[in-house]
Amino acid sequence: MSTALRPARRWLLVTRPTLLLAISALVGSLAATSPPSSANTGSHEPTLVGRAVLDADTLADGPESGAAVLPPFNGIVFPRPSQPVAGFSAIVDGRVPGEFLAMADNGFGAKTNSQDFLIRAYFLRPDFKAARGGSGKVQVGDFVSFRDPDHRLVFPIVNESTSDRLLTGGDIDPESLQRDHDGDLWVGDEFGPWILHFDATGRLLDPPYEVTGIKSPNNPTLAGATATQPNSRGFEAMAISPNGKFLYAVLEGATMADPDQTRRNVYQFSVRRQEFTGRELHYRTEVAAHLAADMWAIGGHRAVLIERDAGAGAAALFRGIYRVDLRRTTADGFLLKTRVVDLTAVPDPDLISLPALHGGDIGLGNPFSVTCESVEAVHLVRGHQLLVGCDNNLPNKGRNPARADDSEFILVDVPGLRSGR
């Protein structure tokens, strides 16, 4: 299916008291779009309480894309006639309750084949299928176009000679997204890896912020030097502190020189001073091959982090959500972690994930399994509900061995999420 979408206008930034009043006024009219509550309130284990699916073939306005992808793949014919609405690697709140802003990454998996994929974040309204109803569909609204009209990037981009200088998957690989208290957007990138600072409309405000000595093979300023970070192992995860003062950017993989390949560096960045503070934390994965996929602050000094394997479909054997406290470490200096959700086996007592949308779908029913290769987004919705999103890596497959993955958004109720240690 295809949708005609327009870029988002700059939306009004309001003070907290004004925002609270506005939200209160909207509560009565948003019951249908707000995330559902759990129908199993007596349960003390994580439970699937909502699921919504966006078809892999969804398109938005824009130029042809995917010309360098070898067609066809898993039922998707390339090049696409316009821009795919797919590949979401991060989710933040939208403009009103019930709406979310979901950011796509670099497009088709590589710098060389994604130069015609425009970097955007789409406003989405999932109508979560829940125990008490819901269509399970996702309404796609307008979008934010990321661009560099002021030449803040220190290297030539694909659209170098244009006036708006829209950014593409040949320029940056955005994997994590946060919004500060002023409404600006902060993006964690893998090509640098860098932290990128945009205004609410997607205009790049500053040159890239990088950690001294950390460069990927895709960094255009490498200039013949040896890369220190593996390809596609940059700032995949990034949380912002509840007070908006600090970002915590997490490398998806270990640095090349680290003798402990289970170590994932976590760098603190000051939003006010716009610089890395020098504080560095460390997260340890269960095995060296696991990836740190996304991170979200849940209150105080605590956060949740997705750790996953690189499997898809029946081979997706490990993907967990862990709670960490940024003040508490083990004797050897790693963040203490507690698994709060096993995404390979989420109880679905109300059978929210059924019926299957396509013949041959796997991992549905009780328990429900997240089968996409790249489960890359986690977002605290309210209370102890987590929204988890899949980057479908169009046209990869996982849910169904015969077709490209749709974009899935699932809500998991996690009792005790914010009260446990």
Q: 214: which residues sit within 8 A by CB, 6+ positions away?
A: 193, 228, 229, 251, 255
Query: Which residue from 233, 231, 215, 211 is spatially nearest to 223, judged by alpha carbons?
Result: 215
| Beta carbons within 10 angstroms of residue 128's beta carbon | 24
In Å, the largest CA–CA distance within the chain is 60
pTM confidence score: 0.90
> Exposed (0-12), middle (13-18) or buried (19+): which is 43, by Cβ within 10 Å?
middle
> What would the pLDDT profile of 325-379 be if each residue is shown by its tens digit?
999 999 889 999 999 999 999 999 999 999 999 999 999 999 999 999 999 999 9
Q: In this structure, is residue 46 part of a structural domain?
A: yes
Structural domain that includes position 273: 42-413
Query: In this structure, what token pair is assigned to residue 110?
Result: 């590589």
- What is the amino acid identity at position 214? I
Residue 199: give its domain's CATH number. Answer: 2.115.10
- Label residue 3 by pLDDT band (50, 70, 90): very low
Q: In this structure, is residue 210 part of a structural domain?
A: yes
> What would the pLDDT profile of 224-253 be if each residue is shown by its tens digit?
899 999 999 999 999 999 999 999 999 999
Q: In this structure, is residue 269 part of a structural domain?
A: yes
Question: How many domains is the chain built from?
Answer: 1
Q: In this structure, is residue 12 part of a structural domain?
A: no
Q: In this structure, is residue 299 part of a structural domain?
A: yes
Q: In this structure, is residue 9 part of a structural domain?
A: no
> What would the pLDDT profile of 56-115 be if each residue is shown by its tens digit?
999 999 999 999 997 778 889 999 999 999 999 999 999 999 999 999 999 998 999 999
Q: In this structure, is residue 17 part of a structural domain?
A: no
Q: 40: which residues sit within 8 A by CB, 6+ positions away?
A: 47, 131, 349, 350, 413
Length of the chain: 421
Q: In this structure, is residue 358 part of a structural domain?
A: yes
